[in-house]
Amino acid sequence: MWACDPALTSTFVNSYQVAGPVVMQALTSFFAAQCAISGDHLWPPDATQAVLADPNYDFIVVGAGSAGSVVANRLTEVNDWRVLLVEAGGNPTLGTEIPQLFYNNLDSPNDWGYKTQPQDGACRNYKSKGCAWPRGKILGGSSSINGMFYVRGNKLDYDEWAAEGNTGWSYDDVLPYFIKSENFMGDITEENAKYHGTDGYYYVNKDTENNMFEDIIIKASVELGLKNLSEIVGAEQMGITRTLTNIKDGKRMSTARAFLSPIKDRKNLHVIKNAVATKILFKPGTNIVSGVLLNQKGKDIVVNVRKELIISSGAINTPQLLLLSGIGPRKHLEDMNIEVKADLPVGENLQDHLFVPVFYTKPGDKNLNSMPNILAALAEYILYQTGPLSDTSPHKVISFFNTTDPQASSPDIQGHYVVFPPSIHNLLDSFWVHGLSDEVVKKFHQMNENTFTMIVYNVLLKPKSIGRILLKSKNPFDHPLIYANYFEHPEDLETVLRSMKQNTLKLGDTKTFKDAGFKPEWIEIDACKDFDKKTDEFLECIARELTFSLYHPTGTVKMGPDSDKRSVVDVELKVREVEKLRVIDASVMPSIVRGNTNAPTIMIAEKGSDMIKKYWLNQHTEL
């Protein structure tokens, strides 16, 4: 990435003196515009030298992602607290900040690049025989590489948490924290006023511009009986809508841009980058946390904490760090020859949203994605942050419906709708970056060469199949073993097949799709070729071959009341049997929410930060 140093920019531009003043001015404008989008000056500086000079902090937050960025912001609102934020990656780049290119961040240096362990019943057409599980390794974490959908889930999600004994986590309890973080850029009406906030850091955009493909999807879904909603974060979730997005002025609104950039010069905030937390440290002979061991470029750094260590590394990295530190199932830790500090079910209760695609195509001109057109769009974006790269259309439509009860108030399926122009692989190759087999990648290219290709995601919202995470070894740089266990419970597959038959495959029968020229089409997979395409056997084969994750791992450090032996943290997110340690991220969700997980994770961070403040400001001074 260009460092956005004025002196370096000048040197680079001057090296092109022979090009003449017009080209020189264009280069100067180009680099200045690029720096304005993603330059290093936008983010907190690296504080490695400050950490080495004085490695003592009131709070240490491990992970600068969707949760950690929020926690660091809120804790440093207390001027007397010295806070260190630890991030394994670096600053956002131009590639992360361009909304339309979000898929290109998969399998990049900004992605941890996790894969699930091979299983017989799912993810069978991947090269590794395991599904891709992208996770952000960058300031902003997965909010810097995701699809920028702003979805809160269903009211029932949080009421179910509370009903399980998680006092203070009902919908009415958490709604104020969704509102606190939000800066809503749509119209506030009498109908939606109680659900939106306008004073928060996190910009939420309501697009008012129509897109032809999105109009077609919505109109066809209404033909099938779905309700056309203005939005789905208020009183109703069941239906179809253009989603709210975290995009402002043509740029991604990650938690890094929202919560860290505005406070980058706050004196009591230090951010150490490209540093991996490898072990939680304890006072000798106790279960009282004393700090954390970091590794930066091969060198170990010990950082001490006075009040609390907060782990906000996500549903994969958080359990890995806890396990490496002796917090987890006794047998697994003993098998790894790790001293047991607390025998807790860390890594269990893993839940994720899988999806299975259905394809539609219509003829199109492959020159739409020619290199001159791509370069023109990129230049327009960098210079003005406008044009087709400045938002996520035509991919903004989402739907929610229930396959067993059309009148239900909570869904079991979410629909996502992605529309790729002809020869999309000239700009991004989503099947290749996911690690699909050469067979599938090649056949998708053939399908898409001269067609607009719509991929409808059948997303399973409430999986009954539960996975787990285990250590591969004691080496903190070895990826943990991720057992997704997709489709292990038969009802999960049944729900996905109902979705395909009741909704996504019926889109092709609508007048809207027929008038628009969209026809169903399948990628011809050898493993499924002997099945009649009209049978459940064929659909099951497709589901097991072309399983995808929607990148929503949760639940591996489960929150629960004292009576819940499956829980790791209590309702204040404190780790059981250990002092001065909390977990604040998606891993604490008792059960996965019915929708995208980024906004709920930010809510958890807002609520968790409030808990910390109340604990230390109102009751305690020092442990």
- Asked if 552 is an active-site residue, the reply is yes
Residues 123, 116 contacting (CB under 8 angstroms): yes
- Which burial class, exposed, middle or buried, applies to 458 when counting CB atoms under 10 A from its CB (0-12, 13-18, 19+)? buried
41, 196, 552, 620: the active-site residue: 552
Q: What is the bridge-based pairing of β-strands 83-86 and 56-62?
A: parallel
Q: What share of the chain is helix, strand, coil (3-state, %, to 5)?
A: 35, 20, 45
Nearest to 346 by CA among 328, 369, 368, 326: 328
Residues 582, 575 contacting (CB under 8 angstroms): yes
Paired tokens of 4 = 């956005």
- Which burial class, exposed, middle or buried, applies to 576 when counting CB atoms under 10 A from its CB (0-12, 13-18, 19+)? middle
User: Quick one: DSSP state of residue 100?
Assistant: G
Q: What is the bridge-based pairing of β-strands 289-296 and 276-282?
A: antiparallel
- Structural Rg of the chain based on CA atoms: 24
Nearest to 204 by CA among 255, 136, 261: 255
Separation of alpha carbons 338 and 341, rounded Å: 9
Alpha helix (H) ranges present in 164-301? Answer: 171-181, 212-223, 255
Separation of alpha carbons 263 and 43, rounded Å: 9
Q: For residue 32, what are the CA distances in angstroms to 7, 385, 567, 574? A: 12, 13, 50, 45
Element (H, E) at 126: none
- Sign for the pseudo-dihedral over CA of 597, 599, 604, 609: positive
Separation of alpha carbons 340 and 482, rounded Å: 21
Active site residues: 552
